[in-house]
Structure formats: C-alpha cells, structure tokens
Amino acid sequence: MPVNEDYVGRSFPPVGPYAVDPAMIAAFASAVGATDPVHFDSEAARAAGYRDVIAPPTMAVRFDQLASREYVQDADAGIDYSRVVHGEQRFTHHRPITAGDELTAQTTVDSIRMAGGHAMITVRSEITAGEEPVATTHSTIVVRGGE
C-alpha cells in the first residue's frame, strides 16, 4: 500500500498530558551527554533564572514521537515503518521544557512529497503546557519505495 497523500493537513488528537520531573530530565541529559548543572540541579537552574531544572532542547523529540505515533501506526496512512528512514528534525523553542510541566502534544501532517519512488513526509507537533506553547517540532521521515 502506498503512502496515503490524503493525510496532508490532517491533525490528530492531542496526546498527554505527560508529567515532566527532574529525574526524567536528568536521565535524558545524561543520555545525550549534556552536563550543564541546569539539567540536574534545581538551585543551579533557579540561579540561572528558571523555576526548576530544564531539559536539553532535543528532549522535545520525546513528545513529538509520542504525538506522531498515532499517524505512523494508522493502517490507512500507508506507512510501512520497516521502510522508514529519519530525514530531518527541527525545533522551535518557545521556552524550555521545565520540571513540573504537564505537556500535551498534537501532530499535524504538513506535507507528503513523492520523490524517486520514496515518500517524504513532514509532520509538525505543537507541544504545550496547558495553553502555553513550549515547542514546535518539524520531523521529516522518508518511507523508502519498494524493492
């Protein structure tokens, strides 16, 4: 089944809320090699002007992937995940992800472009804490064409 181009413009229901705590942030920071004390120490974060520890900027991808899962797993979307290659990831941060946040994320399919038998799909996820924008992610995956 080919990728269903009718999904362009479709938004999926928001997912979450996901509680962000200092341990989650510290684990992610350690995994990506971030060493700034603002990721591990509440006092250091407050001294830097934050209300609590903050996540490394790339942690937004965690919530982007949770939100886009419904699209990727939708059988009618025509995405064979065994043929997916990650193409690009971009972030627009409105403010840092901070311990104590309750984050919700919603994905919209921005574009599907066919090129050389492959489908290039760009999705956007809006990550919010309540009504407050936290980050906007743009992720492009490539669904490789048949053999």
pLDDT digits over 54-73, tens only? 999 999 999 999 999 999 99
> pLDDT at residue 96 above 70?
yes
Tell me, what's the pLDDT at 147? 58
Closest CA to 124 of 111, 113, 108: 108
- What does the alpha-carbon distance between residue 78 and residue 81 come to, in Å, rounded to a whole number? 9
Domain range for 102 is 9-20+59-143
Q: Give mean pLDDT, residues 14-29.
A: 97
Looking up residue 131, the CATH number of its domain turns out to be 3.10.129.10
Average pLDDT over residues 28-48: 97
Q: Is residue 102 part of a domain?
A: yes
Q: Residues 56, 32: contact at Cβ < 8 Å?
A: yes
pLDDT at 129: 97
For residue 69, tell me if it sits in a domain: yes
Q: What is the pLDDT, as a whole number, of residue 136?
A: 98
Is 105 a domain residue? yes
Percent of the chain with pLDDT over 90: 93
The values of phi and psi at residue 89, to 5°, are -140, 130
> pTM for the whole thing?
0.91
In a domain, 123, yes or no: yes
Domain-embedded: residue 50:
no
Mean pLDDT, the chain, integer? 95
The CA-based angle 87-92-93, given to 5 degrees, is 135
* Long-range contacts (CB closer than 8 Å, 24 or more residues apart) made by 3-7: 3/77, 3/78, 3/79, 3/112, 3/114, 3/119, 3/121, 3/143, 4/76, 4/77, 4/78, 5/112, 5/114, 7/71, 7/74, 7/77, 7/109, 7/112
Task: Return the percentage of the chain with pLDDT > 70, whole number.
Answer: 98
